[in-house]
Amino acid sequence: MWYTIITAKRDSEGAVVAKVSTDALSPWFDGHFPGDPILPGIAQLHMVTECVEQVVQQKLVLQTLARVKFKKLIRPGDVLDIHAAAGKQESNYIFSIQHNDQQVCSGRLVLAPRKEQ
Q: Report, in this order, helix, strand and coil percent for the chain, each rounded to 5.
A: 15, 45, 35
Question: Cis omega (within 30 of 0) on the bond before 33?
Answer: yes
Give me the catalytic one of 32, 46, 83, 99. 32
Question: Positive or negative CA dihedral for 54, 113, 46, 95?
Answer: negative
Nearest to 51 by CA among 41, 37, 66, 62: 62
32 is known as an active-site residue:
yes
Q: Which residues are catalytic?
A: 32
